Amino acid sequence: MQGRRPSVTMMFWVVLTRPWVAFGPDPVAQVRRATYDEAGREAYDQARQAAYDQARAAYDQARAAYAHARAYDHALTYAHLQTYVSLAVKASGLLALLLSTVILLGGYVQSLEKKDFFCIMAITVIQAAGSVINLLHLFLFCPFSL
């Protein structure tokens, strides 16, 4: 088969069906291929943009959830801080009430000046009133927490 020459009919058929073999590349096929490549590129770009948009939406949703969780953590930290500061203030108030009661009832009143006596008396009355109000609040509004 190697030494056989193609017949004229076969060459004519090749020229008619595949002219790029005989005359070079077909310009219509090149235009068609370029259009197909552009359409494929456009479809690829659209699919890529859609995938990017979907990933960006998921990222934004996760970021919003993270921001919400961080806001919750900040609020919880603030509530804990406020609670501990309130407990510290109440403890120092009870300590002031205890010390002023010891000073007033322990016999140290004679060594105090009149101004110091009235300051300690005011501290004792205010702290005692606050302690009574806290106890009333506890018994009236939270009777089942005891």
Q: Where exactly are the structural domains of the chain?
A: 8-141
Say whether pTM exceeds 0.85. Answer: no
Q: Which tokens in the block code for residue 129?
A: 């009133």
What is the phi-psi region of residue 107: left when phi exceeds 0, alpha when psi lies from -120 to 50, beta otherwise?
A: left
Encode 66-86: b = buried (16+ Cβ within 10 Å), e = exposed.
Answer: eeeeeeeeeeeeeeeeeeeee
CA distance linking residue 125 with residue 50, whole number of Å: 72
Out of 8-12, 87-91, 99-103, give the one with best mean pLDDT: 87-91
Q: What average pLDDT does this structure show over 83-99?
A: 88
Q: Which tokens in the block code for residue 33?
A: 């291929």
Q: Is the pLDDT of residue 98 over 90?
A: no
Length in residues, the chain = 146
Confidence (pLDDT) at 117: 85
Confidence (pLDDT) at 102: 85
Average pLDDT across the chain, whole number: 79
In the chain, the amino acid numbered 65 is A
Confidence of residue 138 (pLDDT cuts 50, 70, 90): confident
